[in-house]
Amino acid sequence: MKNAKTELLGDVASYYAKKLAQHGATPLGVDWNGASGQHLRFEQFLSLLPENQPFTLNDLGCGYGALLGFLRENRPAAGYLGVDVSEEMVSAARQQYDGAAEARFITSDRPDSVADFGVASGILNVRLGRTDTEWVAYLEDILEILDSTSKRGFAFNCLTSYSDPEKMRPDLYYANPCVLFDLCKRRYSKQVALLHDYGLYEFTIVVRKNT
């Protein structure tokens, strides 16, 4: 019998496989509205990453690997690992970045190695009918994975509970940024930044570790 997390991950993989089949390896294929919003989300991660030195990065919920393309232009990484629970997404990423140096993709719910940094973009939003309690448990598990597989820091984004009520959807999870900021400060590091000023109904939290 499947446990609750296995069932949830299976539902997530199925959901995104359908989006990919509908829209291909595009922002719509990973359930974003468009390229500009996706790019803006990626920009928030740049404050975590060093400009003039090599680093390794784990991309949890990598989709078709869009972040790798963004990093090539803005923060060339020494090593990149893309991780996704959807086999179809990983296959699309491998096709898109076939032969890319120092980059690989795996089908899993967690990285198979520790990197300097870890990020998770967009994987904490679509609750797929789960209750708040179930989804918060999943969210906190993702944060534990990010923390345990990054040496220097990690970052993630969520839809915000400060969204306009009339625009909020029941199939999406809107996190309280203050609660998650407090959790990260208490549990992971004294160096935590909350970014909630980039024009989208969401926020990004950046956690820097003392090394």
Whether the Cβ atoms of residue 55 and residue 211 lie closer than 8 Å to each other: no
Query: Measured between alpha carbons, how far is residue 23 from residues 32, 84, 92 in Å?
Result: 11, 18, 12
What's residue 24's pLDDT? 75
Question: What domains lie within the chain, and their CATH numbers?
Answer: 4-208 (3.40.50.150)
Tokens for 129, please give them: 């009918």
Is the pTM here over 0.85, yes or no? yes
Whether the Cβ atoms of residue 206 and residue 118 lie closer than 8 Å to each other: no
How confident is the model over 79-100, as pLDDT tens digits?
A: 999 999 999 989 999 998 887 7
Tokens for 112, please give them: 């198979």
How confident is the model over 48-58, as pLDDT tens digits?
A: 999 888 999 99
38 CA to centre of own chain: 11
pLDDT at residue 29 greater than cutoff 60:
no
More confident residue, 29 or 9: 9
Distance CA 54, CA 77 (A): 6
Measured in residues, the chain has a length of 211
Distance CA 81, CA 168 (A): 33
Residue type, 76: P
Query: Picking from 64-68, 140-144, 187-191, which range would have the lowest pLDDT averaged per residue?
Result: 64-68
How confident is the model over 102-115, as pLDDT tens digits?
A: 899 999 999 999 99
How confident is the model over 166-199, as pLDDT tens digits?
A: 989 998 999 999 999 999 999 999 999 999 999 9
More confident residue, 24 or 46: 46
What's residue 1's pLDDT? 37
